Amino acid sequence: MFDFSFFTKYYPFYIDGIKNTVVLAVFTVILGFFLGLVFCLMRLSKIHPLRWFAVAYIEFIRGTPVILQIYIIFYCLPMIGIEFPDIPLFGDDFPRFMAGVIALSINSSAYTAEIIRSGIQSVDLGQMEAARSLGMSHGMSMKKIVIPQAIRNILPALGNEFVIIIKESSIVSVIGIAEIMYQSSVLRGITYQPLSPLIVAAVLYFILTFATSQLLGLFERRMKRNER
């Protein structure tokens, strides 16, 4: 029923898939974090239009399927004149890759914004009051005092978001990005084996997510030791 002999011949497919999955996840986490931070600060702003826009953005992104967002980004951007050039380093897949990064970053930013907001609100209000009493502006107090403490509080949640992104990156296979899931589908067609390539993909996803969880746990423990 299961025959994994194909792996010795076709393992380069999975290596390429792993590289694309990791690169996609890293770019998504970075862009998603900064976008989430911006929308978090907008939601906490006292300027009503900014706050309303941030709330509408977060609720809309969280309330629609990620696959729909991927299709919208991939098909709508060229329709409004936004096209990504082919770069030799990435080949013809660069426009698809960038569409996937943008779509996943937008989706991740909505969840990251709420994670950061909960972290900021968990910081004692006395921290902000003490910073303001020393003459710091509100923006400087957030940058130097509140946000660094909030990041430490939400590090486990941010790490969990990274793990989720690694798994959700499989969905960009629908627009032809050659990550792990896409490569396993290609190998199913080449080898005529419906299950074995998928099982290998499942093992690879588990290795990536487990290793990421362990590294983040190590980083979190070191931060706690430094605080003590």
Mean pLDDT computed over every residue of the chain: 84
pLDDT at 44 over 70: yes
**32-59 burial by CB neighbour count: b if 16+ within 10 A, else e?**
bbebbbebbbbbbeeeeeeeeebeebbe
Is 202 contained in some domain?
no
Of the spans 1-5, 88-92, 193-197, which averages the highest pLDDT? 193-197
pLDDT of residue 221: 77
This prediction's pTM: 0.83
Is 11 contained in some domain?
no
The DSSP 8-state label assigned to residue 84 in this structure reads: P
**In the numeric block, which tokens belong to residue 50?**
């900014």
103-156 pLDDT per residue, tens: 999 999 999 999 988 888 877 777 777 777 777 777 777 777 777 777 777 877
Domain count of the chain?
A: 1
Model confidence at 78, pLDDT cuts 50, 70, 90, reads: confident
pLDDT at 91 over 60: no
Q: Is pLDDT larger for residue 56 or for residue 92? A: 56
> With the C-alpha atoms ordered 213, 222, 25, 45, is the resulting torsion angle positive or negative?
positive
pLDDT at 85 over 70: no
Model confidence at 86, pLDDT cuts 50, 70, 90, reads: low
Is 227 contained in some domain?
no
For residue 89, give the CATH number of its domain: 1.10.3720.10
Is 148 contained in some domain?
yes
Is 192 contained in some domain?
no
Please state the rounded mean pLDDT for residues 84-104: 74
Is 174 contained in some domain?
yes
Is 149 contained in some domain?
yes
Identify the domain containing residue 109 by its residue range.
21-178
Q: Which of 150, 71, 166, 138 is nearest to 113 (CA)?
A: 150
Contact call for residues 190 and 10 (beta carbons, < 8 A): yes
Please state the rounded mean pLDDT for residues 78-107: 77
What percent of the chain has pLDDT above 70?
Answer: 92
pLDDT of residue 224: 67
Contact call for residues 38 and 197 (beta carbons, < 8 A): no
pLDDT of residue 88: 54
